[in-house]
Structure 1
Amino acid sequence: MPLIWSYSIDGLDWNELAALYDAAPLGSKNPSGLKTAFTNSMFKCFVYEDEKLVGVGRALADGVDCSYICDVALLPSHQGLGLGKQIVAKLVELSRGHKKIILYSVPGKESFYKKLGFKRMSTAMAIFEDQAGAQERGYVNET
């Protein structure tokens, strides 16, 4: 079945999007929180197969300096087929013209993004709502 790409939140089923993140698995996300996040994102990609949402990604961008790619997710049935690479490539293409394109990754997926041209930053830092949990899951360290 051919894949259908969309770049609009018009008609998006927010519950289906939340279920995709849960299945990916990228954690439990609230549909209303996802609506806020995607509405405020300059770039977004939605990939459908047989009218079912199978892949997604978004980028927060200011139009000049920085575009931040995040929340790239695929249903497990569509992982390992190159679709994630295509979503990231589209978000990078949409982000062209920004001075920097930053990507936030799940720990353990860094090598995937390195193959797409991303380099590890030595100065990136974060404050998480659950700092101890973030450290436990490998997102931050004490050093």
Structure 2
Amino acid sequence: MPLIWSHSIEDIDWNELAALYHSAPLRNKNPSGLKTAFTNSIFKCFVYEDGKLIGAGRALADGADCSYICDVALLPSHQGLGLGKQIVAKLLELSRGHKKIILYSVPGKESFYQKLGFKRMSTAMAIFENQAGALEQGYINET
């Protein structure tokens, strides 16, 4: 069955999206928090197979200077098939014209994104709600 691609949040089942992120695994994400995040993101990408949500991603963007691609996820059964690459490609296409496109990655997935043209930043910094957890999971360094 062909894949169905969508850029609309109109028919999103937020519980199904939360389950996708949980199984990806990209931590537990609250359905209402996902609704807020995707509603406030200019660019969204959803992939369906047989009516089931199998992949998603989004980009926060200002329309000129910066687009930030985040929350790219696929069900484990669909990882390694090139769909993640296609989701990122669609978000890159939608982000075209921005002076910089930034991507936030799960530790260990950097090489995947480097193959898509992303370069490691030497100046990126972050403050996490759970700094200790972010340190433990490899998102930030001590220094």
Alignment pair present for 1:45 and 2:45: yes
Spell out structure 1 runs of 4+ moving beyond 3 A: none
Aligned twin of 1:75: 75
Aligned twin of 1:118: 118
Aligned twin of 2:128: 128
CA distance in 1, matches of 2:67, 2:122: 18
Residue 63 of structure 2 aligns to which amino acid in structure 1? Answer: G
Report the Cα offset of residue 96 of structure 1: 0.4
Alignment of 1:1-143 (within 5 A): 1-143=1-143
CA distance in 1, matches of 2:76, 2:45: 18
CA distance in 2, matches of 1:49, 1:71: 19
CA RMSD, aligned part only? 0.4
Residue 121 of structure 1 aligns to which amino acid in structure 2? Answer: M
What is the number of equivalent residue pairs in this alignment? 143
CA distance in 2, matches of 1:12, 1:47: 11
CA distance in 2, matches of 1:30, 1:142: 28
Residue 70 of structure 1 aligns to which amino acid in structure 2? Answer: C
Report the Cα offset of residue 11 of structure 1: 1.0
Q: Deviations over 1:4-28 (max 9, x none)?
A: 0000000110000000000100010
Structure 1 gap segments, 5+ residues each:
none
- Secondary structure, aligned partner of 1:35: helix
CA distance in 1, matches of 2:142, 2:21: 28
- Secondary structure, aligned partner of 1:132: helix
CA distance in 1, matches of 2:62, 2:38: 14
Report the Cα offset of residue 81 of structure 1: 0.1
CA distance in 2, matches of 1:140, 1:28: 19
- TM normalised by structure 1 equals 0.99
CA distance in 2, matches of 1:130, 1:27: 13
